[in-house]
Amino acid sequence: MIICGIIHVELLPANSPKVIGLLVAGFATLIFFIIWETFAPLRLSLTPPKLFRVNKGRRLTVPFICSFIVTMFYYGVNIIWGTMVAVYFDDPTAPRWKNLMLATVQGFGTGAGCAALVILGNRLGHWRLQMIVPFALMTMFGGLFAYVTPERKAAGVAVAFFTSFFFGFVEYLTTTFIQFGADQIDLGIVGGLGGAGRGGGGCIASSVFSTILTTVQTQWANTHVPAAAVAAGASANTARAILAAMPGGAAAVQKVPGVTLAIAEAAGAAYQQSYVEGVKYVAADPDGASYTLLTSSRKNVAYASVAFGGFAFLCCFFLEDISPRMNSRIEVFLENDVQAEKNVTH
């Protein structure tokens, strides 16, 4: 219900009764579940509270938070880089394979990051430091998306690759920390919690980042596309018709009565810039006049990811060192294994 409430913000005003009702009901249900799991006399708990309290939360709670947030970067890069590929860098005159290759940058980066951890992880050791440094670099490169414009294609490719690279490194490592967040007999529980955390982080990230991008882009386009069209010689009615036709692409704009090539180019450039503003916040208009994109906040997708990443980066300093447990010791065996008699419970 919480996720549904966040998603509905894209469709309805934030003060809509539907949005408020979903959020209130969702948080109330979550609080009830926490109280039930903590105080009810349960024989088997879905989320044993004792696991989150071990070593003041450093063993499982902190890795859980990091895993929740690192997944948000995956969805953030999906939204940011996907928008850039489709709006910034899509070239109708270039071979299609060149445009499609841009969409693979994120995947190659993520795969390379995962491979780097697999190959170098044990050799490097210092597991907590391996979380701190890549998390900082992932957050930094995520923020650098705000620097990318349609004229900075090479920079965009580099930022997308390295953000995804460090995401892949950290994603695997957060899973490792979570798996070491409990005794081996509870591996199933912490594995399920880790998966739920990653899924929840992804849902919230896609909802929050999409809402930020859509809100900023729409507000900027509504203000600047008609102004650009009028400045190029269009009438007010023609400018409004061009704004309505923009989502349909250049072919739809050309069908608007009274459109000239100069008007279409001016309006198209302003519409493209609206997506630039959705990805990064610019404090002033090109002529220096200040404007407000969001009434209560000047966040954007790139900066929002920095805020989340910065919090998780600080959490990394409180992680429990897993080096003593990085060994080949096995505590739980399959019940049909010859070692099954060593199990404490059957």
User: What is the mean predicted confidence (pLDDT) over 103-114?
Assistant: 91
Taking CA atoms, 249 is separated from 222, 230, 267, 285, in Å, by 16, 19, 11, 25
- Predicted pLDDT of residue 111: 93
For 276-328, how does the pLDDT look when each residue is reduced to its tens digit (9 = 90+)?
777 654 223 333 333 333 333 333 566 777 888 888 899 999 998 888 887 77
| 318 vs 94, higher pLDDT | 318
Other CB atoms within a 10 A radius of the CB of residue 211 amount to 19
Give which of 232, 215, 271, 224 is closest to 248, Cα–Cα: 271
Taking CA atoms, 334 is separated from 62, 188, 329, 340, in Å, by 30, 13, 15, 6
Cα 162 from Cα 8, distance rounded (Å): 32
pLDDT band at 179 (very low <50, low <70, confident <90, very high): confident
pLDDT band at 346 (very low <50, low <70, confident <90, very high): low
User: What is the distance between the terminal CA atoms of the chain, rounded to a whole angstrom?
Assistant: 38
Contact at 8 Å (CB) between 170 and 135? yes
* Domain boundaries of the chain, sorted by first residue: 1-46
pLDDT band at 109 (very low <50, low <70, confident <90, very high): very high
DSSP letters for 53-65? HGGGGTTTHHHHH
pTM of the model: 0.76
Burial of 25 from C-beta contacts in 10 A (0-12 / 13-18 / 19+)? middle
Give 146's DSSP letter. Answer: G
Cα 39 from Cα 51, distance rounded (Å): 15
Looking at 13-22, 51-60, 334-343, which range is the least confident one? 334-343
Using the predicted structure, report yes or no on whether residue 110 has a pLDDT greater than 80: yes
DSSP letters for 274-337? HHHHHHS--SB-TTS-B--SSSS----HHHHHHHHHHHHHHHHTTPPP-GGG-S-------TTS
Using the predicted structure, report yes or no on whether residue 103 has a pLDDT greater than 50: yes
Contact at 8 Å (CB) between 62 and 318? yes
Cα 24 from Cα 238, distance rounded (Å): 44
pLDDT band at 336 (very low <50, low <70, confident <90, very high): low
Indicate the helix (H) or strand (E) that contains 51. Answer: helix 49-53
pLDDT band at 108 (very low <50, low <70, confident <90, very high): very high
- Predicted pLDDT of residue 296: 31
Using the predicted structure, report yes or no on whether residue 165 has a pLDDT greater than 90: yes
User: What is the mean predicted confidence (pLDDT) over 256-271?
Assistant: 86
For 209-247, how does the pLDDT look when each residue is reduced to its tens digit (9 = 90+)?
777 777 777 888 888 888 888 888 888 888 888 888 888
Q: What are the backbone angles phi and psi of residue 95, rounded to the nearest 5°?
A: -55, 140
